[in-house]
């Protein structure tokens, strides 16, 4: 759950870095960056504390999905 929050906040940080039309873009960027860092910390803590209970399976699957998505993007960027 916190992975989704972290990724959405990180995506908004990228959005604000690219689009400077809004007069309050810096404030929004900082808010989203803080949200990404905080939810990322919670995600890591939850993953570490639940690792031995079976969270290692979910973490491995998440890593595999991210690697696959990045490879697909690289393939289409080269085309």
User: Mind listing the pLDDT tens digit for each residue in 27-67?
Assistant: 999 999 999 999 999 989 988 898 888 878 888 898 999 99
Q: According to the model, what pLDDT value does residue 73 have?
A: 95
pLDDT band at 79 (very low <50, low <70, confident <90, very high): confident
Find out whether 42 and 4 touch, Cβ atoms under 8 Å.
no
| Separation of CA 9 from chain center | 7
Q: According to the model, what pLDDT value does residue 55 have?
A: 79
> What SS3 state is found at 67?
helix
pLDDT band at 1 (very low <50, low <70, confident <90, very high): confident
Measured in degrees and rounded to the nearest 5, phi and psi for residue 51 equal: -55, -50
Q: Supply the angle between the helices 2-18 and 25-49 in degrees, to the nearest 10.
A: 160
What residue numbers bound the domain in which 51 lies? Answer: 2-78
Domains held by the chain: number: 1
């Amino acid at each position: 759950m916190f992975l989704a929050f972290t990724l959405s906040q990180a995506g908004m940080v990228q959005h604000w870095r690219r689009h400077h039309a809004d007069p309050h873009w810096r404030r929004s960027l900082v808010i989203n960056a803080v949200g990404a860092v905080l939810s990322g910390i919670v995600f890591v803590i939850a993953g570490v504390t639940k690792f031995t209970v079976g969270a290692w399976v979910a973490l491995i699957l998440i890593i595999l999905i991210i690697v696959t998505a990045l490879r697909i993007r690289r393939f289409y960027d080269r085309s």
